Structure 1
Amino acid sequence: MTTDQRPRDAASPRIPADPLAPATPAAPATSQTRTYRTEVVGQFDRPSGELRQRLLAAQGEHDVFSSAFTEDGCWTYGPTLTRFTVRHLLTVVSPSTVEANDDARTEALLRTMTILQDAGVSWRGDLSVSVTCLQDVRTRASKRTGRRSSS
């Protein structure tokens, strides 16, 4: 009879089959939902001809004064057609804050590239992405001015 086949009594400790295996199973990862405002900024690649005319004709719909953070994305640019900005409001479910930040950045880039490609617009250089998690934004409590009401 080998040592593995020997009967164990209830008081003897159990030796795991794999000595490198963890003694207890790892707790399941919990996911968290985080909401992000993302802003992707880039430069037009010198639009000309029909594309330039189309962009200029629609520029009023893409003016900075009508910008907002939306789920579908809000694309803004000026009449000079040099730079553009795309703003998104994204909800990300991820097991960690770091992964959620990375996922939001990637999702913002992918959505922005889709918007631009659907419009037939090319850009030059890299797109710059900034992400802000709304759960991480802290607001200051208003301070009292110290005035007393007159009675």
Structure 2
Amino acid sequence: MSTRTFRITVRGAFDALTADQRTALLARAAEHDILHAAFTAEGTLTYDLAARPFFTFRYLDSGEAEEDILEAAERAEAAARGWLTERGYGWKNLTSNAEDLSQAALGKRRRQAAARGEG
């Protein structure tokens, strides 16, 4: 059995931030800009608090079976809740979406390479 790679996106909204928390998040906003977004095992946080209160965490996980994606999504949500709680940030409407990359549609270049026997 081969290892499957999962990309999990956890979304939510900051809730009831204090003025100090908002200031701290705004001060570090450049570090959490969408241009730095990546799926990583540790998770990558992005937000644009100046525009809206929403945030996104991106996680990379793996498993052996298709069903492992559910546990991966649960781990990602727990990690996001942990990060927020550790810093005292309130949140609401936390949801996740997980994608099994082995089931993702191939792009044009990958289809052509597969047809040639290159991958």
What are the superposed Cα offsets for residues 40-97 of structure 1, whole Å, 9 maximum, x if unpaired? 010110312211111110111011111110111000100335100000011224xx42
Q: What TM-score, normalized to structure 1?
A: 0.65
Counterpart selection for 2:76 from 108, 115, 137: 108
Tell me the distance in 1 between the aligned counterparts of 2:35 and 2:12. 18
Q: 2:12: which partner in 1?
A: 42
Tell me the distance in 2 between the aligned counterparts of 1:55 and 1:120. 12
Does the CA-based 8 Å contact 1:76-1:86 persist in structure 2?
yes
Tell me the distance in 1 between the aligned counterparts of 2:100 and 2:21. 35
Tell me the distance in 1 between the aligned counterparts of 2:39 and 2:77. 15
Q: 2:91: which partner in 1?
A: 123
Higher helix proportion (structure 1 or 2): 2
Q: 2:39: which partner in 1?
A: 69
Tell me the distance in 2 between the aligned counterparts of 1:104 and 1:66. 22
Q: Which has the higher contact order (CA 8 A, sep 6+)?
A: 2
Shift of 1:138: 2.9
Does the CA-based 8 Å contact 1:46-1:82 persist in structure 2?
no
Identity %: 31
In the TM superposition, what are the counterparts of 1:1-150 in structure 2 within 5 Å?
Answer: 33-80=3-50, 81-93=52-64, 96-97=65-66, 99-124=67-92, 126-139=93-106, 140=108, 141-142=111-112
Provide the alpha-carbon RMSD of the alignment. 1.9
Q: Which secondary structure state, in structure 2, belongs to the residue aligned with residue 116 of structure 1?
A: helix
The count of residues paired between Structure 1 and Structure 2 equals 109
Structure 2: which amino acid aligns with 1:84? F
Tell me the distance in 2 between the aligned counterparts of 1:32 and 1:130. 22
Tell me the distance in 2 between the aligned counterparts of 1:92 and 1:71. 13
Instruction: List, as ranges, runs of 4+ consecutive aligned residues in structure 1 with deviation greater than 4 Å.
Output: none
Provide structure 2 residue ranges, at least 5 long, that are not aligned to the other structure: 113-119
Shift of 1:33: 2.8
1:113–1:32 CA distance, 2 compared to 1 (3 A):
farther
Q: Which secondary structure state, in structure 2, belongs to the residue aligned with residue 130 of structure 1?
A: strand
Instruction: State the structure with more CA Rg.
Output: 1
